[in-house]
Structure 1
């Protein structure tokens, strides 16, 4: 074992000195080129070459976790590694080396994204080539770091049937979600961090008729719905000189000129919500987005806060939201997994006409007071009302 560690170390050093690109073929050739490498069998050579390639160009000891389809998050706290396989964080046993090795790993991953990570710029938020989201913080900002947070990317979105199988969406409610998409109702997928908002939105966008064009606007590209006509726009941060920023607000305006049938903002987190509401109020039906919110009832307040960033007064924001957004789909993360917690509508309430969230269906409670209102919306758009809204087979 020690001999193979030494061999791997020599090969890594060779690539560092020669400055040669560490392609898989080049790494295999380098391993075989070492005196003791020629004594290894094909399987041993490939295994060692994969390890060296991961150390030089990949995520090193974290590669196996990122390749595991059940893993959603990989977190590194100094030298400790925690992973989430959908049921909460669990500490795992893996050898990362010392603090210096973890720092080099973080810097290499940042460099692979074209980003800088050093004492002058001690944190970075970037995306790896395979779609994995990377966030890294170096000491002394990270008091016991370095810290790495890696959110894995699922290459193939779940189908609605798979979400039902996993228990994320009850089967009768799945038909309701499909009806909302088919009726071109605009909706927000809400929930806390890691609650499955992007997963559900990815799935629902795959239900959009193939004759329609989806234009995605995202801060970081995460949405890849199974659909033949999808175009994406991604925000850009400034370069080291502080120039070149392309904000989400700019991209929403560009998207409106791209003939979208469905305009989607991957995550509403700032002033772009004003442009999205404006777009949904000018004939762009069926749009969607995600929004961080602790509960459906917090959605109006969150929209207010974001609207103020875009200079939209409270009353105007509520008027825009009432006309633009019909449904709110709230996700919740539990010990057993990520669940669709409720389906609601936005409706004006009171003499001030401020919008409120009214439940259509809630997990554990069944149908809510807005079930008939949503049924009427579907009928007005010539979409059959799913049995769940009639109380047939309503899941509690």
Structure 2
């Protein structure tokens, strides 16, 4: 499907590499974002043009939108992510968001050159992935979690089999042995839905070397933790305001799986399952960078897993924290001397 046919009146926004996101609040209020800042465009559409645009885009994705299912997430031909909500969920107009992934194909070294982290941190994260550490990427909306996760996954050793699990295909790591799976919505009869929890269980039957969850939001956190505690390497993203908040949230989400799940079970599980938390953020000037890298020590107290800061952005530079990386056995098995885990020369 040609871009100008698929995207119609917004094709020029899609092709503009400086535009990160396009959203339609109403046919007369269409916005774009550049460098994290929003701009109202001069484009005005009719309600029919908005609905026709969405219909064309959904043909490619195979997902549906109607009164019984008034919102949808879908991947577009160029790899962007589409989200649509229609009345009566919205008050009057169709609301459309198209999020582009301008930096999705960048490696950790590329991100370091863009200022998202230092060269030392890039070496540390690359070696952590090679050693099979379990890494959680956290941050707010539009902070660059997917970009960072994609770069981390792309650092996986070539001989390993990676399975990605997402609500909508967004990750696109450069790996030879990769299986990508996404969830499925229910059909018109209210049947056939395939949630993240089901996909995680299926992935474990597919001989994975590691699994990657696009975003952990609900009870699937429990399935992920159980998989990681069985010795399988993994990564994922989670919405949180800090590395510490991410661990606290990861201890809370599994409680949604049932009343028989308790904090006393979850705290040691999180402490032993997660090795690193990478907190990313969006600055007021639109710059996306790592705000903190923290190590989960493996210890827990008062039903809380303990974490220590390895690096933290102080507003002008990265400060090396007092924390140290654990998981010596994983580094040894991967043939990586722990003394060389990170490069001390910037």
Partner of 1:362: 312
**1:314 aligns to 2:263 (yes or no):** yes
Distance 1:212 1:350 in 2: 31
SS of residue paired to 1:84: strand
CA contact (8 A) 2:84 2:97 kept: yes
Partner of 2:191: 243
1:366-377 correspondence to structure 2 within 5 Å:
366-371=319-324, 373-374=325-326
SS of residue paired to 1:315: helix
User: 1:72: Cα distance to partner?
Assistant: 2.0
TM-score (norm 1): 0.78
SS of residue paired to 2:190: coil
Q: Which one scores higher on RCO, CA 8 angstroms, separation ≥ 6?
A: 2
CA contact (8 A) 1:299 1:357 kept: no
Distance 2:329 2:30 in 1: 49
2:131 to 176, 179, 183: 183
Partner of 1:82: 31
1:90-169 correspondence to structure 2 within 5 Å:
90-94=39-43, 96-119=44-67, 121-143=69-91, 145-154=93-102, 157-169=105-117
Partner deviation per Cα, 1:360-391 (whole Å, 9 max, x = no partner): 110125111213x449577655423467868x
Partner of 1:11: none
CA contact (8 A) 1:378 1:385 kept: no
Structure number with the higher strand fraction is 2
TM-score (norm 2): 0.88
Partner of 2:286: 336
Distance 2:340 2:313 in 1: 16
Gaps of 5+ in 1: 1-22, 25-49
SS of residue paired to 1:190: strand
Structure number with the higher helix fraction is 1
User: 1:238: Cα distance to partner?
Assistant: 0.4
Distance 1:324 1:315 in 2: 15
SS of residue paired to 2:180: strand
Q: Which has the larger radius of gyration?
A: 1
Gaps of 5+ in 2: none
User: 1:179: Cα distance to partner?
Assistant: 1.6
Partner deviation per Cα, 1:149-177 (whole Å, 9 max, x = no partner): 01124596112222112111112211111
User: 1:339: Cα distance to partner?
Assistant: 0.6
Q: What is the Cα-based RMSD across aligned positions, in Å?
A: 2.5
CA contact (8 A) 2:20 2:34 kept: yes
CA contact (8 A) 1:107 1:118 kept: no
Distance 1:215 1:384 in 2: 28
